[in-house]
Structure 1
Amino acid sequence: MSVKTIEDLFIHELSDIHSAERQLTKALPRLAKAADAPELASAFEAHLEETNGQIERIDQVVELLGIKLKRIKCAAMEGLIEEGKEVIDEVEAGPLRDAALIGGAQKVEHYEIASYGTLCALAKQLGYKDAIPLLQETLDEEKATDEKLTMLAESGGNARAARQAA
């Protein structure tokens, strides 16, 4: 990674989150299939549609700014997805697995929130006025998804998992 300017950093961060989002489009169907609660499966399926829209927005930013993304693989997302696979393999299907899947999904959302927050700040610094609304829209979606996951956990998911263990 050769990052020498703030523009280089912006392109690197945008390339990294592009890779992360593309990896996530492959992982979300597995998570939906592994979820026991129908509302959790639906949340993963809805986030897949949203993620595809977020990739389209990244492509719009690239086109608007006339930049070229780097061909990199987001190691952080790769690790988070691997953790999700371990949950699916090691935790029996049911409320406990759902609780673990929600926790893992929130780790993903927090990574994405940090990434898009950074990109918004860099875009402001660079004067990329047309890119900021696109990045902010995705940041807002990631925050909303995190809130939905919290609500799923608090509205009974974690309590069902606790009863299962008792």
Structure 2
Amino acid sequence: MATKSTGSRNGTKKSAATTRKNTGSNSRSAAPARKSTRSNGKGEDMPNSKFHQLFMDELKDIYWAEKHLVKALGKMQKAASSQELVNAFADHLEMTKEHVSRVEEVFELMGMKPTAKKCEAMEGLVAEAQELISEEEESSVLDAGLIIAAQKVEHYEIAAYGSLRTLANRMGHTDAAAILEQTLDEEKETDSLLTQIAESSVNEEAMAE
């Protein structure tokens, strides 16, 4: 009887050990694999988090802004008299169309349909440019004013894209951050080009009028 009792206890221990082993194995296999955000560009933020919603709201804002700017740049190009400035607006118009496409690509990476949210800031900046065009005749003074208006727009976009890139990086959306940074760099280049045009000829010609 003692021998049977010992065997029973040993069997119980063995059974319990086996159960623990199997349970541990199942727990490990059930745990979700942690994806690398650097390989697939998908972040680990919760879609319902306020931080994520902030990012999406800002993305919708710049999407509206870029689409609105496409219409405005054509008018600014027609109003300019300096050929160098005309060319700069024409180039930036094509670039802005590309920026719209890139924002749509970021929406796709987020698993969202591109949606625009009215950007009050861009609407106001564009309205200022249109008011300037309606009040000033074609001249170097108007060109100087158009450069100022355009640089106000660029500075807003630089702030917007810089912030979006930072948020995307913080959430681990590295692919989205890379796209946003590419546009950010181009906005900075456009701002520098406008400064160069103003300082090399337009401002001096405007002062002489």
TM (norm. structure 2) is 0.75
Structure 2: how far apart are the matches of 1:54 and 1:93?
A: 29
State yes or no: 1:14 paired with 2:56: no
SS at match of 1:73: coil
Q: For 1:19-39, what per-residue CA distance to the aligned partner results, in whole angstroms no more than 9, with x for missing partners?
A: 000000000110000001111
Which amino acid in the other structure matches residue 61 of structure 2? D
Moved over 6 A (4+): none
Contact 2:63/2:115 (<8 A) preserved: no
User: How far 1:125 moved relative to its partner?
Assistant: 1.0
User: How far 1:69 moved relative to its partner?
Assistant: 4.4
Report what 1:63 is aligned to. Answer: 108
Q: For 1:105-133, what per-residue CA distance to the aligned partner results, in whole angstroms no more than 9, with x for missing partners?
A: 00000000000000011001111011111
State yes or no: 1:133 paired with 2:181: no
User: How far 1:71 moved relative to its partner?
Assistant: 3.8
Structure-2 change in CA distance of 1:125 and 1:111 (3 Å) = same
User: How far 1:70 moved relative to its partner?
Assistant: 4.3
Q: 1:93 aligns with which of 129, 138, 156?
A: 138
Shifted more, 70-79 versus 15-24: the winner is 70-79
User: How far 1:72 moved relative to its partner?
Assistant: 1.6
Structure 1: how far apart are the matches of 2:145 and 2:179?
A: 31
Contact 2:60/2:115 (<8 A) preserved: yes
Report what 2:167 is aligned to. Answer: 122
Report what 2:40 is aligned to. Answer: none
Percent of aligned pairs sharing the same letter: 49
Structure 1: how far apart are the matches of 2:143 and 2:116?
A: 34
SS at match of 2:174: coil
Structure 2: how far apart are the matches of 1:71 and 1:23?
A: 10
Structure 1: how far apart are the matches of 2:167 and 2:73?
A: 29
Structure-2 change in CA distance of 1:29 and 1:86 (3 Å) = same
Shifted more, 99-108 versus 4-13: the winner is 4-13
The aligned length equals 162
Q: For 1:72-131, what per-residue CA distance to the aligned partner results, in whole angstroms no more than 9, with x for missing partners?
A: 211111000100011101112110000000000000000000000000110011110111
Contact 2:132/2:145 (<8 A) preserved: yes
Report what 1:155 is aligned to. Answer: 200
State yes or no: 1:52 paired with 2:103: no
The unaligned stretches of length 5 or more in structure 1 are none
Q: CA RMSD in A?
A: 1.2
Which amino acid in the other structure matches residue 145 of structure 2? A
User: How far 1:64 moved relative to its partner?
Assistant: 1.4
Structure 1: how far apart are the matches of 2:103 and 2:52?
A: 16
The unaligned stretches of length 5 or more in structure 2 are 1-47
